[in-house]
Amino acid sequence: MTKVEDMISPVKIWRRQKEIRGLLSKTGSIITWTLIYVSGKDFKKYAPFPVVMVEFENGKKAVGQLVDYSKEDLKIGGKVISVLRKVRESKAEDVIPYGLKFRPLI
């Protein structure tokens, strides 16, 4: 059984989706990156994984996981596009959380 404090608030998820919508499918450049080797419990199966800070063409910045990448894509100045992906596993009765991640431009 899921405890209430373990569930993600659907209201928080909905509010976050409004922010994400404005950044979705935007292109930008990696301004810094790191590899996460030790992560929280929800992300352990993905470690190690890269996290990038991206500056979009309009000057806004965002941080997120880099997906569908090769080692050559991990470089400052690398071009990426923002994509919508599932950000963590959820329990059967929980809301599936989606968020902003980045994919190298091909």
The CATH number given to 4-104 is 2.40.50
- Strand, coil or helix: 37: coil
Residue 31's nearest CA partner among 82, 101, 78 is: 78
pLDDT digits (tens, 9 = 90+) for 1-31: 445 555 567 677 667 777 777 888 899 999 9
What pLDDT sits at residue 30? Answer: 98
> What is the 8-class DSSP label of residue 36?
E
Mean pLDDT of the chain: 85
What pLDDT sits at residue 2? Answer: 46
Measure the CA–CA gap between 38 and 67, rounded to whole angstroms. Answer: 18
What pLDDT sits at residue 62? Answer: 93
Domain range annotation of the chain: 4-104
